[in-house]
Amino acid sequence: MNDLLLPGTMKILLIVYHSMTGGTRQMVEAAARGAASESTVRVRLLPAPVAQASDVLEADGYIFGTPENLAAMAGLMKDFFDRTYYPALDRISGRPYAMLICAGSDGHSAARQLARIATGWRLKAIADPLIVCTHAQTPEAILAPKVIGPDDLKRCEELGAALAAGMSIGMF
């Protein structure tokens, strides 16, 4: 069962991400802005190498953001899950999550990989994966700094706001 939000009780939304060219960072920052509009939710935005199992355990909901690299989530996101998976296993079941993927052409392989991990943790997806495709196909384009368009950033912001609102009212 979900806890009802009591007056003065803050929920914690943990956003863990990796970004090499800036695209994923823009996406998670937009989601964090949207979530921050909910006054009863505290947003913690942590790079994957910094996030620890204790951060996962204290959070009430999650957003995971990753680029898709070579048809998989970024290695530093995988490292985050490698370090936190077993300490959190059977301790965070039922909590809500969403994912943001910045991809050059597809993004679905990274989304499937991340979803399998979330399924093992028994997390509850609150939305389909939000995948932004940059269409970067050459080595130069893949490694170049990314600029995510305003429409895609708005979708990320709306996802963050929706997750935070659901957490705030005990929907998730």
Domains of the chain: 11-168 (3.40.50.360)
Whether 21 has a pLDDT exceeding 60, the answer reads yes
Report the pLDDT value the prediction gives residue 151, as an integer from 0 to 100: 98
Cα 134 → chain centroid:
18
Question: What is the chain's mean pLDDT, rounded?
Answer: 94
Report the sign of the C-alpha dihedral through residues 120, 107, 72, 142, in that order: negative
Whether 11 has a pLDDT exceeding 70, the answer reads yes
pLDDT digits (tens, 9 = 90+) for 41-98: 999 999 999 999 999 999 999 999 999 999 999 999 999 999 999 999 999 999 999 9
Mean pLDDT of 142-149: 96
Mean pLDDT of 119-135: 98
Per DSSP, the three-state class of 86 is helix
Distance CA 5, CA 43 (A): 16
Contacts of 111 (CB under 8 A, 6+ apart): 99, 101, 129, 131
* pTM score, whole prediction: 0.94
Contacts of 80 (CB under 8 A, 6+ apart): 16, 18, 48, 49, 51
21 touches 67 (CB < 8 A): yes
